[in-house]
Amino acid sequence: MLTADTANAGDHAGNRTVKRKKQEKPLFDKRGSPDAGLQHVKGTSSQRSRSSSPPPPYHTAPGAQDPKPSDTIPGPESPTSSVRAAIRAVLYPCIVNETRVIAALQARVRSPFVDGFFKYLGALGTHTAFLLLLPCLFWFDSGSTMEVHGQSVDKNRVYGRSLVLMLAAGVYLSGAAKDYIGLPRPLSPPVVRMSTSASIDVEYGFPSTHTANAVSLSLFTSLFFHRYWADSWSETSQTVIYSVLVTYSILIAISRIVTGMHTLLDVVGGALVGGGIVLIHWFWLMAPMEEWLMSSWTVPLVMIPLCILLISVHPDPEGPCPCFDDSVAFVGVLGGLMIGNWHYAIYSANFFLSAPSFGLLMVFQRITCGISIIVAWRITTKRVCYTILPPLYRVLALPFGRKFFALADKDYKSIPASHVSFAPSVLHLASTEQLRFRLPRYDVDIAAKLIVYCGIGWLAVEFIPYLFYILGI
């Protein structure tokens, strides 16, 4: 029972709280200056979250460690390991300082055209775009071959599997760094964030995955083109191609800043990740990897445990950041692609799988048929996984339990039909993206995603090209 003194103490505490709230300054003053009120950002993590961070969009299932809004975007003083805290203490002030600069930049350059251009330009760096475009490297031969371990291999196939490997590495490494360090994006307000993604407010910022992917794609394509394709192109055409690649990576980097999605620190970090991956692959890994895929029976024995290991050691974030989901998807695609390429090289390469020329009708037929198969695989396999995996998880205690995911042996008995029938990760369109974050997250989602995307990688590089040969398209 409360005493009078206790009640009075509570009243005084409440009055002090009201006074503190009245003294807090907004991040913008009445004139819209981005310099006003930034000292407020230097308060506690919970203060920043109450003023600028919305509640997490993920609706976790019962018992899935539903986070408090104050824990979604942690600040440098959040409870964490000493290494995380040390890194965050150094880098977080840079985010605060750049927030002011980006807000001022947006005030100068924003317009309907600029907003729309840079907002949708960012879609070219998403895994949706890569999912739609990368299979074409395995569905349409270039007509030019190169010798790999005594076999003639189409250059598109060599280029495609190296590119997928580097993009997967970029997504995984940048996602792991985001989840480990936990640095926020430019603070909103005063920065206005523009994105087609509904998960933007729970994603961390450093480093920029878009920039890492753009730099990887541009740099590796330039190197590969210069070595294997440039001789058959005129000097003018070569200059145009190099210019387009450089412009693409620069525009992607600029778009991340103009749209308020990343700071310059994030962009530079992403560029270093992407560039480093390309240089390591180009000078040390590419030739041994190609020989390994062409000759060794150990490929599936290495790739399957490696994929499981990469998912298992991926850092857990302090908030429900979806970077882990993207890492699982790309790790799965990489595993299926490597196994499919290995089997193709040993057992299927002797088939003439490509037509000598491609008309518009054949291009349409292949793209329509290929994408349809991938979509059907995605939906069907997900249903099968959601039927088989929960009982297995309860019996075998599979090692994929993580924060913010409901556990099969503790939190749920069955998965609702609305979750089973939902398939956003096929095309991650804006309309389905909103629904994605109203659904709970289950531990079986991780294994299901790995199986689904591993199948997509295999389908794209082996089954679908062989089907084209059978169908005569």
- Residue 267 pLDDT exceeds 90: yes
pLDDT at 109: 94
Q: Is residue 42 in some structural domain?
A: no
pLDDT at 459: 95
pLDDT more than 90, % of the chain: 44
Residue 309 burial (CB count, 10 A): 11
pLDDT-derived band at 429, boundaries 50, 70, 90: very low
Q: Is residue 175 in some structural domain?
A: yes
Residues 461, 473: Cα–Cα separation, whole Å: 16
Residues 255, 469: Cα–Cα separation, whole Å: 41
Q: What's the structural domain count of the chain? A: 1
Residue 367 burial (CB count, 10 A): 15
Beta bridge mates, 151: 148
- Residue 140 pLDDT exceeds 50: yes
pLDDT at 350: 57
Q: Is the dihedral of CA 85, 88, 90, 96 positive or negative?
A: negative
- Residue 37 pLDDT exceeds 80: no
Q: Is residue 389 in some structural domain?
A: yes
Beta strands in 26-115 (DSSP E): none
Q: How far apart are the first and last CA of the chain?
A: 81
pLDDT at 244: 96
Which pair of tokens denotes residue 93? 């002030």
Q: Is residue 259 in some structural domain?
A: yes
- Residue 28 pLDDT exceeds 80: no
Q: Is residue 166 in some structural domain?
A: yes
Higher pLDDT, 13 or 470: 470
Q: Is there a contact between 326 and 127 (Cβ–Cβ < 8 Å)?
A: yes
Q: Is there a contact between 166 and 278 (Cβ–Cβ < 8 Å)?
A: yes
Residue 402 burial (CB count, 10 A): 19
pLDDT at 67: 36
- Calculate the average pLDDT of the chain: 78
Q: Is residue 195 in some structural domain?
A: yes
pLDDT at 393: 86
Q: What is the dihedral of CA 180, 457, 335, 137, to 10 degrees?
A: -90
Q: List the one residue out of 56, 316, 338 whose CA is nearest residue 175.
A: 316
Task: Encode pLDDT of 382-407 as tens digits.
Answer: 889 988 988 888 887 665 667 788 88
pTM: 0.81
Q: Is residue 363 in some structural domain?
A: yes
Alpha carbon 163 to its chain's center: 15
Task: Encode pLDDT of 184-238 as tens digits.
Answer: 999 988 999 887 666 666 789 999 999 999 999 999 999 999 999 999 899 999 9
pLDDT at 63: 35
pLDDT at 22: 39
Task: Encode pLDDT of 154-167 as tens digits.
Answer: 899 999 999 999 99
Q: Is residue 251 in some structural domain?
A: yes
- Residue 70 pLDDT exceeds 50: no
Number of H helices, E strands in the chain: 18, 2
pLDDT at 439: 57
Beta bridge mates, 380: none
Domain coverage including residue 267: 115-471
Which pair of tokens denotes residue 261? 């999605």
